[in-house]
C-alpha cells in the first residue's frame, strides 16, 4: 500500500496531550482507590525515587511501557483501563473490581444460534 492510500488513526477527542493527561488522571485514580503512594509504585517497580510522582505530574514523559507496568502492578487489564477511559465504564468497572479482588471473570456467554442476527443469506431448513 503506498503512502497516499494509508489510513491513519485519528484520536477521538482533543489533542494528544489532552489524551495523555486523561491517562495520567486514570492512573492517579488507581493509586488513590488503592490507597497507595507514588513512592510505593517506585519501590515495587524498582524505579528511582520520585519517578512515579514525576510521571503523574507530567514532568517525565509518560510512555506506554510505564502505563502497562503500573496497570500490571495494580492488577488491572489494559482493555479494562482504556475501556473505562473511553466509554465502557460500567462493564469494565465490574471486571476491574472483580480482578483486583482476585476473582476470575467469566467471558461473556455467546447467544444461542437462534438469537443471533442473520448475516448474508438465510439458511433454509431441508
pTM for the model stands at 0.61
Domain residues for 45? Answer: 13-100
Angle at 79 between CA 9 and CA 53, to 5 degrees: 90
Is position 22 within any domain?
yes
Greater model confidence, 84 or 5: 84
At residue 73's C-alpha, the angle toward residues 70 and 76, to 5°, is: 80
pLDDT per position as a tens digit, 52-110 = 999 999 999 999 999 999 999 999 988 888 888 877 665 666 676 677 677 655 555 44
In a domain, 112, yes or no: no
Q: Is residue 78 part of a domain?
A: yes
| Residue-wise pLDDT tens digits, 25-52 | 999 999 999 999 999 999 999 999 999 9
Amino acid at each position: 500500500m503506498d503512502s497516499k492510500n494509508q489510513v491513519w488513526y485519528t484520536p477521538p477527542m482533543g489533542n494528544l496531550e489532552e489524551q495523555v493527561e486523561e491517562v495520567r488522571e486514570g492512573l492517579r485514580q488507581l493509586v488513590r482507590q488503592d490507597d497507595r503512594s507514588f513512592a510505593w509504585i517506585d519501590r515495587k517497580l524498582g524505579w528511582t525515587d520520585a519517578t512515579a510522582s514525576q510521571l503523574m505530574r507530567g514532568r517525565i514523559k509518560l510512555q506506554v511501557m510505564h502505563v502497562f507496568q503500573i496497570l500490571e502492578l495494580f492488577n488491572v487489564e489494559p482493555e479494562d483501563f482504556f475501556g473505562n477511559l473511553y466509554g465502557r465504564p460500567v462493564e469494565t468497572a465490574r471486571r476491574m473490581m472483580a480482578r483486583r479482588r482476585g476473582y476470575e471473570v467469566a467471558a461473556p456467554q455467546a447467544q444461542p444460534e437462534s438469537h443471533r442476527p442473520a448475516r448474508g443469506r438465510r439458511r433454509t431448513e431441508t
